[in-house]
Amino acid sequence: MIPIRRACYVSEQTTSPEETPDAAARPVRVNAWNGWDPLRHVVVGRAAGTVVQAPEPAVRRDYPEDGFPLGTFGPMPEDMVAEAEEQLDNFAEMLTRRGIRVDRPTPLDFNQQVSTPEWTQDSMFGCMPPRDLLLTVGNEVLEATMSYRSRWHEYLAYRPLLQNLFDSDERMRWEAAPKPRLTDASYNTKFWDTYNDLPTEEQLARVRDYDLVLTEAEPLFDAADVARFGKDLFVQLSFVTNRSGYQWLKRHFPDHRVHAVTSTNTHPLHIDATWVPLRPGLVLHCGERLADAELMEFFRLNDWEIIEAVQPASWDHPPKLSFCSPWLAGNMLNIDENTLCIEEKEVRLSEQLSSYGFEIVPVPFRAVGPFGGGLHCATVDIERDGDLQDYFP
């Protein structure tokens, strides 16, 4: 039985304006090993320019009632963009007021045709979440391969920022995984013709056996499929991360233990609402998506407590045009190991986590969901205090 009590909310600003340190003046130091050490510097994404992308083999976008029926594409509605931008800006300002340095990407015109010598894609996506694209491990920021053609060029929105990190911190390692070819050989091109009509058990068997839309023609991964717990990195095999992507990560981080994981999620897409690091010894698990037995055993053997997340408030009302599940509720940002930013309507989840001693910062963020994610997706930590530690000795 999950103990529930009233959440302990903290005010969004802990210091008076005169006392608030000038976060932008902080010297740049790239350093982050986990999801809970005290946050000093973060990237917050932008919704402007997001496009419901043109058809491509990796993904099927079909919103007949919301205006983007299968095969059509175009910019997200202006009122939705404005609301999401406002929530992202307010979130960024709140973090700045807490003394955290905040950087933002430089948007591109995502509503344009793009190509490589091997394919042409009628539009980009311009998906908001920087978490999908960038992975900070220690003093390294790694650009993921990505696996949608519509996201192949998205790294360009982050290049000014990465260049600045590189110029400002001489210890920073700037890495990019091999740019994928993304020819038809990278996809099971008939996958979406049948997958959504399969019985749930059959879909789950396909997830377990990792027989999904991506082939193993080349390494593919999104950074948001990696959960960082110090020396241990957990990589979810998903619609956007294949076994070869996991192998690449394992070889790229030889000093880490890199684990491949699956869960009972019929539509696995990023680990950060399924298996969420909270603090040393405590992880949040989306109970509907049973984690593989080996993963559970690994945590339990090391005396970690696994909290089953309560049902999200957004259960009955997934936002219009959103391709995220209601479990986005668990997609939260740690300010430190005692303080969590949680979407303001997720009161039951806030109460649940408050009962474990967390202070909760409620953040209005529902309007951002249709642009690709929640508070964790919308951010990438660049600096957190703390060193590499082994939490599973």
Footprint on this chain of ligand ABU (rule: CB under 6 A): 224, 269-270, 272-274, 324-325, 327-328, 331, 373, 377
Q: Where are the alpha helices (DSSP H) in the chain?
A: 78-97, 159-168, 191-194, 200-208, 243-252, 293-301, 347-354
For tokens 């300002």, what's the residue? 93
Positions marked active-site: 222, 270, 377
CA distances to 58, 72, 124, 150, 222 from 185, rounded to whole Å, are 11, 24, 20, 17, 19
**Least distance between ligand ABU and beta carbon 169 (Å):** 27
Gap between the Cα atoms of 194 and 200, Å rounded: 12
**Which residue type is seen at 334?**
N
Q: How many CA atoms lie within 13 A of 221 on its CB side?
A: 30
- In the complex with ligand ABU, which residue's Cβ is closer, 219 or 326? 326
Question: Which H or E run contains 260?
Answer: strand 257-261
136 or 325: whose CB is closer to ligand ABU?
A: 325
For ligand ABU, the closer CB: 80 or 172: 80
Residue in the block written with tokens 């070869």: 244
Q: Contact 242/233 with Cβ under 8 angstroms? A: no
Beta carbon nearer to ligand ABU, 143 or 272: 272
Smallest distance, Å, CB 16 to ligand ABU?
Answer: 35
For ligand ABU, the closer of residues 96 and 126 by Cβ is 126
Q: To the nearest whole angstrom, how small is the minimum distance from the Cβ of residue 129 to ligand ABU?
A: 7
Reduced to 3 states, what is the DSSP secondary structure of residue 61? coil
Of the candidates 314, 337, 338, the residue with the CA atom closest to the CA atom of residue 326: 314
Beta strands 305-308; 282-285: pairing state: parallel
143: enclosing H helix or E strand: strand 140-143
